[in-house]
Amino acid sequence: MPLFRALLLALALCLAATPPASADNGYPYPGTSVLATPHGFEALSQKLERAIEANGMGLVSQASASAGASRRGVEIPGNAVFGVFRNDFAVRMLKASVEAGIEAPLRFYLTENADGTASLIYRTPSAVFRPYGSPELDVMAAELDAIFAAIAAQATAP
């Protein structure tokens, strides 16, 4: 019983010394680009769609909490997630790591700011795929880094 009490006391001390978890500890995470723009939310959404297509990628998914809320009569600042990928990259990704398939499509996140402008946020593909420790994924991610940077630059340009 003394051992049990000692372990219980040690656990209590460890928990007391541990700061509470926070969903945004360390945000923005390494490899995250947060780009303020002069554009409004709808204009940035349209520019992003054109930039995705112009850079040879596909818009494979899109979700928006603000659009869903609006359909229910609730207004919140604009936000949308754009899932972007291309099949040749998907095939290469899966050949290198089936487990990495959870990461596709890669995402751009648009948020509406209080001043009426919008921001574009994304994690670089190399940051997304780095944890898998695959040289093949690293090569592919570097190619995607350049494409995603070009998409972001085109979408956020004045």
Residue 129 in domain: yes
Residue 141 in domain: yes
Predicted confidence (pLDDT) per residue in 76-133, tens digit: 999 999 999 999 999 999 999 999 999 999 999 999 999 999 999 999 999 999 999 9
Range of the domain at 64: 39-156
Q: Encoding tokens for residue 21?
A: 């978890």
**How many structural domains compose the chain?**
1
Spell out where the chain has E strands: 32-36, 58-63, 79-85, 106-112, 118-123
Task: Label residue 28 by pLDDT band (50, 70, 90).
Answer: confident
Residue 134 in domain: yes
Residue 7 in domain: no
Q: What is the average pLDDT across 21-49?
A: 86
Residue 125 in domain: yes
Residue 31 in domain: no
Q: Which one has a higher pLDDT value, 27 or 93?
A: 93
Residue 18 in domain: no
At residue 29, the pLDDT reads 81
In angstroms, the first-to-last Cα distance of the chain is 70
Tell if the pTM clears 0.75, that is, is over it: yes
Main-chain dihedrals φ then ψ at residue 110, nearest 5 degrees: -105, 135
CA distance 11 to 133: 34
Please give the radius of gyration of the chain, using alpha carbons only, rounded to the nearest integer: 20
CA distance 38 to 60: 26
Average pLDDT across the chain, whole number = 88
CA distance 120 to 81: 10
Q: What is the CATH number of the domain that holds 120?
A: 3.30.310.70
Residue 90 in domain: yes
